[in-house]
Amino acid sequence: MTRIKQTLAELVRIDSVSAGSNADIVEYLERRCADLGLVTRRFPYLDDYGIEKINLIALTKDVAEVELALVGHTDTVPYDPIWTDATNLTERDGKLYGRGSCDTKGFIAAALTALETIDLSQLTKPLALIFTADEEIGLRGAKQLALEKPLRVRYSIVGEPTSLKPVRAGKGYSLAEVIVKGREAHSAYPALGASAIFRAARLINRLEIIARQLRQDQHAAFDPPYTTLNVGLIHGGSAKNVLAGECRFTLEWRPVPSQPSEHVLKLFQAAIQEETQADPDFQCEVDASRADSGFETPPDSPLIKLLEKLTGKGSSTVAFGTEAAQMMALGSVSVVIGPGDIREAHRTGEFVPVDELERCAEILKESVMQICLISG
């Protein structure tokens, strides 16, 4: 077995589903980084369930600012218990199967392998490996780093399965729960109450109009080229013959990076205000729980140009969230790239193609050499 496959097999062997602690995989990565002569620093925090999670930073020099960071998340999505080989990396037809093989342990194995083939003492500019926790449950670890700012980063290469296509921009992700109040009454006497469901329906109609308005703010690099929104869940009422006292629905939107997350919220608040003017009894709460920003690196950035040259592929954009936005908070210009296909990522039978895995290590090696070795 080649070195890179061996490393990936060891990473996959360590169960690191987001729900549990990531201490075991962090310990493994610390050991590997120490073998490379890197300085490691742990940044622990408690997740929403009181479980300790650890972000790990490994540095070629003990500095506060690095030229380049390679970023990979240590956690994976859960796996179905019927997939008995989920943590046992299995090779078939040039593909390596296992939970996390594609998202994102393949990238981590490639990064470690790349560094093993470089004489790190020769680097003229500092390099970091950043291993995060809880990416799969709302980028929690990366957000913690963005808050603590333990390091300044000039350029970052964020690992996510993109089939080795450089991704230079991603949409943000925002979420709110809307709670509309009514007054219960017997449905034979609707004048005695107010239906929260009818009220919610009016708001949802307005959201459809807002969704159409959002199309006017075009960002041509994306597909679709504008902010989208969705009401994915709705729940309300207690019985068929009772006016609903409450109706809740989720409002999710994916803003283009040029548009602040609050834009949709402001349009929605204005719609609520109009409803309240028409009906002074109208009551509605908006509980916004997420506002993850998108990211965008200009197509002519040296980082994008370099990765386009190394991969032979033009850069593109994605409609989903990545840790690149949090790396921006550390001062970084970012690109997202990694082996494997995002469409395979969260499925039973997740895999990474061997050739892409090996190619990724070469690309990362070249990137480190070009960014951290050549002065100027």
Binding mask of the shown chain, residues 120 to 159, with x at each position contacting Zn ion by CB under 5 A: ----------------------------------------
- How far is residue 100's CA from residue 106's CA, in Å, rounded to a whole number? 7
Name which of 73 and 219 has its Cβ closer to Zn ion. 73
- How far is residue 103's CA from residue 113's CA, in Å, rounded to a whole number? 17
Least distance in angstroms from the C-beta of 279 to Zn ion: 45
Helices (H), the chain: 3-13, 23-35, 105-116, 140-148, 196-214, 262-278, 302-311, 324-329, 342-345, 354-368
Is-contact 77 346, C-beta < 8 A? yes
Q: Which two tokens stand for residue 157?
A: 């290469």
Least distance in angstroms from the C-beta of 284 to Zn ion: 35
Question: 161-189 in b/e burial notation, b at 16+ Cβ within 10 A?
Answer: bbbbbbbbbbbbbbbbebbbbbebbeeee
For Zn ion, the binding residues in 156-175 under the rule CB under 5 A are 160
Is-contact 166 313, C-beta < 8 A? yes
Distance spanning both ends of the chain, measured CA to CA = 39
For residue 297, state whether it binds Zn ion (rule: CB under 5 A).
Answer: no
Name which of 16 and 332 has its Cβ closer to Zn ion. 16
Catalytic-labelled residue, pool 30, 135, 296, 323: 135
**Alpha-carbon dihedral angle through residues 112, 113, 117, 121, given to the nearest 10 degrees:** 0
For residue 30, state whether it binds Zn ion (rule: CB under 5 A).
Answer: no
For residue 74, state whether it binds Zn ion (rule: CB under 5 A).
Answer: no
Least distance in angstroms from the C-beta of 191 to Zn ion: 54
For residue 350, state whether it binds Zn ion (rule: CB under 5 A).
Answer: no
Binding mask of the shown chain, residues 80 to 119, with x at each position contacting Zn ion by CB under 5 A: -----------------------xx---------------
* Alpha-carbon radius of gyration of the chain: 24
Active site residue 135: yes
Residue 192, amino acid: L
Catalytic-labelled residue, pool 47, 75, 292, 323: 75
Name which of 138 and 193 has its Cβ closer to Zn ion. 138
- Tell me, by CB under 5 A, how many residues bind Zn ion: 3
Name which of 159 and 245 has its Cβ closer to Zn ion. 159
For residue 292, state whether it binds Zn ion (rule: CB under 5 A).
Answer: no
Name which of 160 and 350 has its Cβ closer to Zn ion. 160
Contact residues toward Zn ion (CB under 5 A) are 103-104, 160
Q: What are the residue numbers of the active site?
A: 75, 135
